C-alpha cells in the first residue's frame, strides 16, 4: 500500500491518457470541521485548480470531473443554488487561464437544465477554447451515465438505424463523450467504492482507484499516489498476462 512520501511517479512510464474523477466528500469534509456544507464545495473547487494544473504538467490528455449529477438536483435548493454560483465563479475566473494554457473545455450531461447564465458561460468557454490543442477538461454537469446511454439509444432509434446495424462503435459515438478517449483510470475520493452512475459504458476496462481521502484534501501528492498505483497495474483488456505460458 502506497503512502504519502512514496509518490515517486515515473514520468517516463505509462501515463493515463484519460482520467475520470468522482470528486466526493466535500460536504463531509465541511461537517467534520463544523463548517457549512457549501464551504466544503468551495474548498473542493479550489482543489480542482490544482489537479488540473498537475494533469496538464505531466501530460494527461483528458480529465473528466464529475461535478454535478442528475441526482444532485434532489439536494436542498439552497445548496444547489450555491453550487451553481461556484460553477459560475469558476468559469468566469478560470476562462482566461484555460485559453492561455491551451486547454479545451467541454461538458457532458443535460446542461440545458442548468441556469441560463451558466449555459451561456459554458457555451462561451467551449467556443473560446475549441481551437486549443492542449489537454481536454471535461465537466460532467447534470450528468448520469444511465441517462446518457438512454439519450444515446433514443438518438440511434430516431436516426432510423436498423437493429442489425447497431454496433458498439455506434453506441459509443451516440454518447456525450463521442470523440474523447476511453478513460484509463477512474478515481473516487471519500472512501466510497462505487461508480455512482459515472461513465459506465466508457469505463468497461478502466482501472479503478478508491481512496478514503475527502476531495478537499486530495492534493497533488494524493493524485501522484493514484497515478503511481496505475503505473503498477497490468492492463490486459481481457487477454492473458504477458508472462503467461498458457495456450
Catalytic residues: 24, 72
The residue assigned the cell 471519500 is 190
Specify whether the CB–CB gap between 77 and 62 falls below 8 A.
Answer: no
Instruction: Report the side by side order of strands in the sheet with 62-69.
Output: 104-108, 136-143, 62-69, 18-22, 185-188, 207-210
Taking CA atoms, 13 is separated from 16, 141, 152, 229, in Å, by 10, 32, 36, 12
Q: How many angstroms from the chain centroid is the CA of residue 231?
A: 19
CA angle 124, 51, 135 (to 5 degrees): 50
**d(Cα 125, Cα 106) in Å, to the nearest integer?**
8
The three cell numbers locating residue 4: 504519502
Beta strands in the chain (DSSP E): 18-22, 62-69, 104-108, 136-143, 185-188, 207-210
Tell me which residue of 125, 132, 118, 142 sits closest to 197, measured CA to CA.
142
Specify whether the CB–CB gap between 87 and 41 falls below 8 A.
Answer: no
Specify whether the CB–CB gap between 20 and 195 falls below 8 A.
Answer: no
- Please name the helix (run of DSSP H) or strand (run of DSSP E) that holds residue 172, with its range, or none: helix 168-174
The three cell numbers locating residue 118: 451558466
Amino acid at each position: 500500500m502506497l503512502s504519502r512520501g512514496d509518490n515517486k511517479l515515473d514520468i517516463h512510464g505509462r501515463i493515463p491518457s484519460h482520467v475520470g474523477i468522482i470528486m466526493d466528500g466535500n460536504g463531509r469534509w465541511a461537517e467534520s470541521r463544523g463548517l457549512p456544507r457549501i464551504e466544503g464545495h468551495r474548498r473542493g473547487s479550489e482543489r480542482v485548480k490544482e489537479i488540473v494544473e498537475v494533469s496538464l504538467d505531466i501530460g494527461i490528455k483528458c480529465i473528466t470531473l464529475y461535478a454535478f449529477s442528475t441526482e444532485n438536483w434532489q439536494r436542498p435548493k439552497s445548496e444547489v443554488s450555491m453550487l451553481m454560483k461556484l460553477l459560475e465563479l469558476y468559469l468566469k475566473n478560470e476562462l482566461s487561464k484555460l485559453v492561455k494554457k491551451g486547454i479545451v473545455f467541454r461538458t457532458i450531461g443535460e446542461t440545458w437544465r442548468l441556469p441560463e447564465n451558466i449555459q451561456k458561460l459554458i457555451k462561451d468557454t467551449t467556443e473560446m477554447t475549441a481551437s486549443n490543442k492542449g489537454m481536454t477538461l471535461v465537466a460532467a454537469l447534470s450528468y448520469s451515465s444511465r441517462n446518457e446511454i438512454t439519450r444515446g439509444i433514443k438518438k440511434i432509434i430516431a436516426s432510423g438505424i436498423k437493429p442489425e446495424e447497431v454496433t458498439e462503435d455506434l453506441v459509443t459515438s451516440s454518447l456525450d463523450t463521442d470523440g474523447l478517449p476511453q478513460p484509463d483510470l477512474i478515481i473516487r475520493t471519500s472512501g466510497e467504492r462505487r461508480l455512482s452512475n459515472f461513465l459506465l459504458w466508457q469505463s468497461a476496462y478502466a482501472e479503478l482507484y478508491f481512496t478514503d481521502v475527502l476531495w478537499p484534501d486530495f492534493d497533488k501528492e494524493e493524485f501522484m499516489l493514484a497515478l503511481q498505483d496505475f503505473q503498477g497495474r497490468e492492463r490486459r483488456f481481457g487477454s492473458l498476462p504477458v508472462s503467461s505460458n498458457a495456450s
